[in-house]
Amino acid sequence: MRFPLLLTLQASWLTVCQATQHYPTTWGHYDLCKSEGYTDEGPTWYYMACQPEAADMTKYLKVFLDPPNITCGDPPETYCTLENPYMCNNECDSATEELAHPPELMFDHEGRNPTTFWQSTSWKKYPKPLAVNITLSWNKTIELTDDIVITFESGRPEQMVLEKSLDYGRSWQPYQFYATDCLDAFTMEPKSVRDITQHTLLDIICTEEYSRGYVWKNDKTVRFEIKDRFALFAGPKLHNMASLYGQLDTTKNLRDFFTITDLRIRLLRPATGATMVDEYNLSRYFYAISGIKVHGRCKCNLHANSCIYDKERLTCECEHNTTGPDCGRCKKNYQARAWSAGSYLPIPKGTANICLPNSVGPVTTDVCLYHLNDITNLDVKRWAGQGARNPVIITDDLHLRYLKAV
């Protein structure tokens, strides 16, 4: 009598497995939040941990400059090149579209020739530092999935700090320091991402790799290396994401390290290409950025597989009876047990940790009764004998769970 139930469970499990094959497998099977199945008592849902796909996050940010009037062109100004102080035919004029360099040109689609870029005023007030803060705000927690890459069009800065916030810009922590001379600029020993190990992954380093002068003109990028850090757990080609996910699941600090609401680029000293600043030609010194790449996904606590951008705001489309911008709490009438984030474990389906309806009564724990692989006819009979008329079954993993009310 109970055989059909078991068979339909297995059949629906196969359906889930087949459905997930249509998705890219690189990042694991966390793209389905639930799947419909059938039991003797009618249709039911099976729940899995899920997360939105990683995407280009620069489409969803707001950019703020400090000081606000630091963009060139008001009044119009001419610039010289760093390499040749006598080549001064670049003009910035904010009132003329072809000559303006507003901040949005850091995020437009490149591929045009010539490139488009934001540009600061020149270092007219030398020796007062030419300091600019560029703040990128999402107003939403984001999990980084790829390197942050900043492309400079006129030499990379000699001193710069990349900072992050996890609380919408109220507090800031450094991500990485960049300088031609780390000891001189920040009294830090120079290091590179290659010096970082699993045990020192949370350490903040100063690197000299991305600050070389104009002799390296073709080297325009400054990076914050996310993938190299992932590789410490997932292997050089990130083939073992399960290992990384396992670590992220059990180590909150590690997970928080890759999570942001805001980024701040603090430009402290522009490229000078020399040890001495040419005080008679300060039009050679300025910042110009043609692109900033930030790749990541909405943090939805493994309770959503999509994130919508509406009214200039990102919000998780919460499943598992959760709600809030990050699916960070249980919906009204679904508070039979305390909210908790979903889990990547066990690999590959994870655990949904859904919020349960109040109607099941307070629940302290769910008891795993059966492992699907181990179920025999005898077990099914025993399960039928539990006496619960309508037990809640959650196949988060390969387990049938019976919720024990207290």
Pairing of strands 206-207, 173-179: parallel
User: What is the C-alpha to C-alpha distance for residues 46 and 17, in angstroms, rounded to an integer?
Assistant: 12
Beta carbon of residue 63, minimum distance to Ca ion (angstroms, whole number): 13
Nearest to 153 by CA among 291, 288, 284, 265: 288
How many Å apart are CA 62 and CA 262, to the nearest integer? 9
Q: Which is nearer to Ca ion, 106 or 394 (CB)?
A: 106
Amino acid at 227: K
Question: If phi over 0 gives left and psi between -120 and 50 gives alpha, with beta otherwise, what is residue 60?
Answer: alpha
In angstroms, what is the minimal distance from the CB of 263 to Ca ion? Answer: 17
- Distance from the first to the final alpha carbon of the chain: 30
CB atoms under 10 Å from CB of 80, counted, come to 20
Sequence letter at residue 308: I
Report the nearest approach of Ca ion to the CB of residue 288 (Å).
10
Cis peptide before 67 (omega within 30 of 0): yes
> Judged by CB, which is closer to Ca ion: 107, or 138?
107
- Closer to Ca ion by Cβ: residue 102 or 169: 102
Q: What gap in Å lies between CA 164 and CA 176, rounded to an integer?
A: 10
Q: C-beta of 113: minimal distance to Ca ion in Å?
A: 12
Residue that has been written with the tokens 């800031």 in this structure: 172
Single-letter amino acid, residue 165: S
Query: What is the C-alpha separation between 182 and 189, in angstroms, rounded?
Result: 6
For Ca ion, the closer CB: 222 or 394: 222
In the complex, least distance from residue 104 CB atom to Ca ion, rounded to whole angstroms: 9
The CB-of-164 to Ca ion minimum distance in angstroms stands at: 23
- Residue 276: half-sphere exposure toward Cβ, Cα within 13 Å: 4
**Burial of 253 (C-beta count, 10 Å sphere; 0-12/13-18/19+):** exposed
CB of 106 to Ca ion, least distance (A): 6
Closest CA to 265 of 50, 70, 54, 49: 70
Closest to Ca ion by CB, 35 vs 290, is 290
What's the CA gap between 13 and 5, in Å, rounded? 12
Judged by beta carbon, residue 109 or residue 128, the one nearer Ca ion is 109
Q: How far is the CB of 248 from Ca ion (least distance, A)?
A: 33
Query: Which candidate, 59, 73, 72, 156, places its Cα nearest to that of 109?
Result: 59
Greatest pairwise CA separation for the chain in angstroms: 93
Shortest Cβ 290–Ca ion spacing (Å): 4
Bridge partners of 315, per DSSP, are 308
- Point out the residue whose Cβ comes nearest to Ca ion: 116
Nearer to Ca ion, 111 or 387 (CB): 111
Q: Is 249 helix (H, G, I), strand (E, B) or coil?
A: helix
Nearer Cβ to Ca ion, position 91 or 108?
108
Q: C-beta of 92: minimal distance to Ca ion in Å?
A: 15
Q: Which residues bind Ca ion (CB under 5 A)?
A: 105, 108, 116, 290
Q: Which residue number, 105 or 150, has a Cβ lying nearer to Ca ion?
A: 105
Complex with Ca ion: residue 108 or 146, whichever CB lies closer: 108
